[in-house]
Structure 1
Amino acid sequence: MAGSDAAGRRIRILTAKVGLDGHDRGIKVISRALRDAGVEVIYTGLHQTPEMVVEAAIQEDVDGIGIGLLSGAHMTLIPEVLRLLRERGAADILVFGGGIIPDADIESLQKMGVDRLFTPGTSLDEVVRYVQDRFGARASVG
């Protein structure tokens, strides 16, 4: 199954809008595309705090967190999610995301531990392929 890991378990992804950003159409479209591809998606909704996202990710035993940010607060909110995951012993949960993020910030965030960032114009197919390939392959190794 395309939305499953090597053991046949469905890939579980939590998607969230962190901070005060109220634009949720993009993350809803991505969440739907992932669901249609067989991925189990937990969408937490708008105005989530980093603490809420990390707590939900741990409780839901997800493989990854997909964060959508258009507010410009990516250099504050995403590092806080990463810090909290490490603090809670859940650094194995990969973080990816998308939004309007300058190239220099993408590089900085990836150095901090973000697995992948998507920018405007990325196709839904590319995001779905990333999730299937990254999380399916990850499960077969570890």
Structure 2
Amino acid sequence: MSADTEQRTIRCLVAKVGLDGHDRGAHVIARAFRDAGFEVIYSGLHRAPEEIVQAAVQEDVDVLGISILSGAHNTLVPKVIEGLKEYDAFEDTLILVGGIIPDDDQETLLSEGVAAVFGPGTPMEDTVEFVRENAPER
């Protein structure tokens, strides 16, 4: 491997999908990712699943972090996953979900292709380390 490959910058999209207007957690994780040396793109509030997919594909991100607190995670996250599959971007994208997600729903999201679900109080170091260890090789 060349030094360029070993020092590759991980590209992350932190996304707010749906009508959820609470974005403090998204800003906190975006800052933690930036401070860890990741390249971070923030979607802004109230994005449709299709907008998130377009941004992830156009920005060629390694990691898609979806912040959702509206309770619509079982509807909106699968729409994002399906959109990524349509663009053949699903296999190359580490999908994370952050928010208050009931345990049963976490299992469903994980079975649908989400790599990890991070709830309130998760140490930033744990999330950063998970990304470093699991971001897809390009």
Give the alignment's TM-score, normalised by structure 2: 0.92
Structure 1: how far apart are the matches of 2:15 and 2:28?
Answer: 12
**Alpha-carbon distance, 1:7 to partner:** 3.3
- 1:8-49 Cα distance to aligned partner (Å, 9 max, x none): 210001011100000001110100010001000011111011
Alpha-carbon distance between aligned partners in 1 of 2:121 and 2:47, rounded to the nearest angstrom: 25
Q: Which amino acid aligns with 1:71?
A: S
- SS state at 1:34 partner: helix
Q: Give the drift of 1:6.
A: 4.9
Q: Are 2:110 and 1:120 aligned? A: no
Instruction: Name the counterpart of 2:42.
Output: 43
Report the identity percentage.
Answer: 54
Where structure 2 has 5 or more consecutive residues not aligned to the other structure, the ranges are none
Give SS of 1:96's match: strand
User: 1:131 — aligned with what?
Assistant: 131
Question: Quick check: 1:75 aligned with 2:74?
Answer: yes
Gaps of 5+ in 1: none
Higher relative contact order (CA 8 A, sep 6+): 1
Q: How many residues align?
A: 134
Q: Which AA in structure 1 matches 2:129?
A: R
Counterpart position of 2:6: 7
Instruction: Give structure 1 regions of 4+ aligned residues with deviation exceeding 6 angstroms.
Output: none
In 2: Cα distance, 1:53 partner to 1:23 partner: 17
**Equivalent residues in 2 for 1:38-117 (5 A)?**
38-92=37-91, 93-117=93-117
